[in-house]
Amino acid sequence: MSTNGTNGSNHDGANGASEKIIPLQINGKEVKTSTTFDVVDPSTGKVIWKSASASKEDAMNAIEAAQAAFPAWSKTKPAKRRNILLKAAEILQSRVEELGGYMMTETGSQTAFATGFNIPTSVEMLKDIAGRIVTIAGSVPVCGEEGTNAIVYKEPYGVVLGIAPWNAPYILGFRAVAYALATGNTTILKAPEFSPRCYWAIGSVFQEAGLPAGCLNVLAHRPQDAAEITTLLIEHPSVKKINFTGSTHVGGIIAAAAGKALKPVLMELGGKASAIVLADADLQKAATQCALGAFFHSGQVCMATERIIVHSSIADAFATHLSKAIANIFPASGPAPVLVSPAGVKKNHALVSDALAKGAHLAVGSLPDAPSPSSTRMRPLVVSHVTPAMDLYRTESFGPTVSLFVVDSDAEAVVLANDTEYGLTCAVFTEDLRRGLEVARGVESGAVHINSMTIHDEPALPHGGVKMSGFGRFNAAQGLEEFLRSKTVTWRD
């Protein structure tokens, strides 16, 4: 059963009582449900609040609201959509402490990642999209037959379903709907169970900015209802396109369901990013960037560095620099980094234990004999002598674990970097740009960053992967084009 309400709409910071229920947002109204689920602070293991849990009826109501809003929204002038996005950026900036608090509480992230990176990047994204709206244009091609003319229109799809994860909720949540809204689509945003209040906040920002009712609907649900609700949303005839950011495993399920319904999908999935340190690299810079790339947000980033590949001539010196960089950025005297759930700690311990049993060495850090079943904290680990026989070689750790490899040539580094089913991002460290570009051209990846870490996302740069890291692109002009389809109209004189 669902009822309309306003619970959750007050800007009370991140210290709400566990009795607080975060509502759904459907057709411009906040909706409470009789079924809820607990939301836990991973830093403390305590319930911080509850979230409304969408039923099939709620999902249908969201679809109907989005479909009803589409005719009017698709006909709005670019200037109106631009102004709403700019207003949303302004509101987001003004609520940075509030929204940053939600993110730190729900995901265990540090201030630098929440208010120092996620929210500022989201603000710039909204501004960038707003500035590009007026550039959307069709074309007037020349037809081959005399007296025949044509126009190619760019049109929105209709209702777009965005499914985004918990780990960078504002960047990934806003982009799941902002590009679609900017191009005249209406949207349904499916929130992850770990951070529903962050996603409620996204809806709140757009509503405060003047987005018409029904254009954005935010749903959250219990984990056990995921298959039923998601399948309903994907298969409904009113939903015309899906975008998904998350694991490759779940992405495959989403893509299969969308393919069965013959619906297009945009996907940004997992990664196994390599950082390649060439013989001429600035070792201190490379070590610092590798440490940040591997352990920023406890390694819970799809672009995180999973492999560090170092030329043999500098391997020992680099290892020393890397150890120092990790000690400086993630000191042992401070609290261990937080993962969103004990499952992440368990997975990383299992991967490293398997590697050590098969001959790998710990170059940095140590592994407890038996981590606490409820522990969400884990210190950075660097594992050397990793081989293809070990699970860690191919499995995305999505945690504070990185493998260290030594190679004898640039060509060998490229082969190793490509020896993975993933292809999202990569880093190359060198003082020779020509050499760096040559390596970059050889790596099978959606992006390569020379002399900076693998984690790099900004609105002006297309973002997406190859191979099992997905297809399609968010951001920039390509991000807008993803949510437009062409219609060719011809006529004869």
Catalytic positions: 268, 302
Q: Edge-to-edge strands of the sheet including 21-22?
A: 21-22, 46-52, 36-41
3-state secondary structure (DSSP) of residue 474: strand
The answer to whether residues 242 and 163 touch, using CB atoms and an 8 Å cutoff, is: yes
Counted residue by residue, the chain has a size of 493
The answer to whether residues 119 and 92 touch, using CB atoms and an 8 Å cutoff, is: yes
> DSSP character for 483?
T
| Residue 36 burial class via C-beta count within 10 angstroms: exposed 0-12, middle 13-18, buried 19 and up | middle
The answer to whether residues 140 and 83 touch, using CB atoms and an 8 Å cutoff, is: no
The maximal CA–CA distance of the chain, rounded, in angstroms, is 81
In the block, residue with structure tokens 């002009």: 477
Question: Comparing C-alpha atoms, which of 312, 299, 284, 319 is closest to residue 454?
Answer: 299
| H or E, element range at 329 | helix 315-329
Neighbours of 370 (CB within 10 A): 7
Distances (CA, A) of 127 to 46, 80, 118, 175: 37, 14, 14, 12
Query: Residue 28 region, left (φ>0) first, then alpha (ψ -120 to 50), else beta?
Result: left
